[in-house]
Amino acid sequence: MLTIAWDIDDVLNDFMKQWFHNWQHLHNTCNLSYADITQNPPHNIIGVSLDEYRDSIDQFRSSELFANMPPNQDILQWFKQYGHFFRHIAVSAVSRKVANVSSSWLFRHFGDWIRTFAFIPSPRIGENIPLYDSTKAQYLNWLEKADIFIEDNQNNVDAIGQTKIKSFIVAQPWNNSKIQIGQILTAITGEL
């Protein structure tokens, strides 16, 4: 049985899009569209410091807006039909102080299939915790269990290197991928 490692934000959900629309609502002088978010993190594009951006995503993740954010319906339907043919783990880069919120969202929507939640602590001011892995690639290479990795960040996929892990990059404004999630799900199903 193959094991799929899933990124959570911007793969299993539309985190950045939802965060951006909320941020834009709170900062009504912003004339950008979601398509303008061509960097992740987008702090330079929206004109704030990296720490201000990180604080805003932590606040968003702690809000009801995040708690009520729906999962990607195409992926959820795929899980209902094909999820039991694979093992699944979730790997997310998230702040330690809100990792529990992220895992709660994950297990509420995908807990029938995804049983493992791993997070790579995204650095925050004042947090001083042990650092075992600084990237998802380091974690997955250490784990040696993932066969497929689905991610939205090109750097995370590039860092996997020449391993046995087959990687897919979900198309987002900040990457060069043209692969839509439906195409990825079809390719994964073809592994059966």
Question: Do 76 and 140 sit in the same domain of this protein?
Answer: yes
Question: Do 141 and 165 sit in the same domain of this protein?
Answer: yes
Number of domains into which the chain is organized: 2
For residue 185, the model assigns a pLDDT of 97
The answer to whether residues 90 and 4 touch, using CB atoms and an 8 Å cutoff, is no
> Which residue segment(s) compose the domain that 134 sits in?
3-15+71-189
Question: Do 83 and 102 sit in the same domain of this protein?
Answer: yes
pTM equals: 0.94
- The one-character DSSP state at 41 is S
Question: Do 169 and 111 sit in the same domain of this protein?
Answer: yes
For residue 29, the model assigns a pLDDT of 81
Question: Do 22 and 88 sit in the same domain of this protein?
Answer: no
Q: How far apart are the first and last CA of the chain?
A: 9
The owner of tokens 């004042």 is 126
For residue 163, the model assigns a pLDDT of 74
The owner of tokens 């690639």 is 137
Q: What is the pLDDT along the chain (192 residues), one digit of tens a residue?
A: 999 999 999 999 999 999 999 999 998 888 899 999 999 999 999 999 999 999 999 999 999 999 999 999 999 999 999 999 999 999 999 999 999 999 999 999 999 999 999 999 999 998 889 989 999 999 999 999 999 999 999 999 988 876 789 999 999 999 999 999 999 999 999 987
Instruction: Count the neighbouring beta carbons within 10 Å of the beta carbon of residue 1.
Output: 7
Structure tokens at 23: 């941020």
